Chain A
């Protein structure tokens, strides 16, 4: 099981957003993409996720070139992007298939995992920014993606919740791709750093 990014480039009109990015993620790895605001981190993630297909290069998932949205990928966005007309539990079960009861049952487990048991019937307008992002995380986890793309999703969370959720994600996911701009602000524009971690031992 692997995710390979090969020479991915993207231009907006005549301006290069990302240029020849390549890396390879094996099972159990975390890849951190570091760079200042506007250097193309989110652009790269959109290309990897298949939300943007107008790039050059290849995104190879488990040995197959993929230029569309794949259910093996999950995406946690910078903003929670919850559907305001759906309750918390229906937001979490949004991407699930099956009967309503089955979907709600799975969603309830993940809501419990992110510490939002009891908030199932709330609507997004009733949540704080941190709670909304936790719902978004539960929504991404509940479909059991093999690769999880995170676009600075923890920026709105308090330090304790942030640590708790990072631990949770490490326990669950074999491969995790994340941007950590705020923690590594010294990295210059368009810099790219590979961080390889194997399990929880090295994450500290």
Chain B
């Protein structure tokens, strides 16, 4: 029987060469290349004396500082109190933003009533609140947590409102055709449809939360990673300052990665570019 002339002919058969295997690396490995090179160069320059150790100590010195803090047990106390402040501030800020944002997003009158003043508050530089919060609440935990909550509030609020306002009107109409009341529309259509925007708000809010915890701990703390920054400055210990910065970066990255996992699991139904 004659061979079907429409049969595909492998390219290999024509060229006689196998196509080269693509150079595949795990994304984490790809992302580690540049930091690794920078660390090696930094370490080398420090050891050669090009970088003065009293300004920029070598990465191994910074690593040893973190290990020493861990060995004497104080590291976990500093990390613990910073995480506690971030957690409480994030919970408070995101919670209030979710409630108020939902209210403003759903009810037009509430938007007209609340939104102008919220937008005015948003334009106040965050650090301007510090003296007022200290005056009102002292330098204990309450003022720090409140400052972090203020930082978290605005991105979450804005994303909740814009998420609700951009819910597809056509989906609302489907709900109305099935006789859903306002509460059911919110619960079954508006909130799930605005979830992607809310989660983006949470990630932005958490990022700002980490910025604000530094400001909060700089304004008078006796423990925390922000306190280590001040301690490092007062004791001329650049390795302590950089160790604290590294820990902030690591914790910030880990917390964002956790939210990213939550986002991916909650939004598995989305048809996203990222899922290619």
Contact = CB atoms under 8 A, between A and B. Distances in A.
B176 A85 contact: no
A55 interface: no
B269 A81 contact: no
B178 A94 contact: yes
A75 to B, nearest CB: 5
Interface string A49-74: 10100000000000000000101011
Contacts of B192: 83, 85
Contact of A95 (B170, B177, B195, B269): B177
Given A81-B173, A85-B193, A125 B270 contact: yes
A85 B193 CA distance: 8
Nearest to A149: B177
B62 to A, nearest CB: 45
A81 B270 contact: no
Interface string A114-134: 000000000111000000000
A147 interface: no
B179 A71 contact: yes
B189 interface: yes
Contact of B271 (A51, A69, A71, A125): A125
B213 to A, nearest CB: 33
Interface in B58-93: none
A125 B178 contact: no
A77 interface: yes
Given A123-B269, A125-B269, A125-B270, A83 B171 contact: yes
Contacts of A75: 177
Chain B interface SS verdict (over half) = helix
A38 interface: no
A79 interface: yes
B44 interface: no
Contacts of B171: 81, 83
A143 interface: yes
A3 to B, nearest CB: 16
A96 to B, nearest CB: 9
A83 B271 CA distance: 13
A51 B268 CA distance: 31
A49 B188 CA distance: 21
Contact of A49 (B170, B177, B268, B271): B177
Interface of B: 168, 170-171, 173-174, 176-179, 188-189, 192-193, 195, 268-271
30 contacts: A51-B173, A51-B177, A69-B176, A69-B177, A69-B179, A74-B177, A75-B177, A77-B170, A77-B174, A79-B170, A81-B171, A81-B173, A81-B174, A83-B171, A83-B174, A83-B192, A83-B193, A84-B269, A84-B271, A85-B192, A85-B193, A85-B195, A85-B269, A94-B174, A94-B188, A95-B178, A95-B179, A123-B268, A124-B269, A125-B270
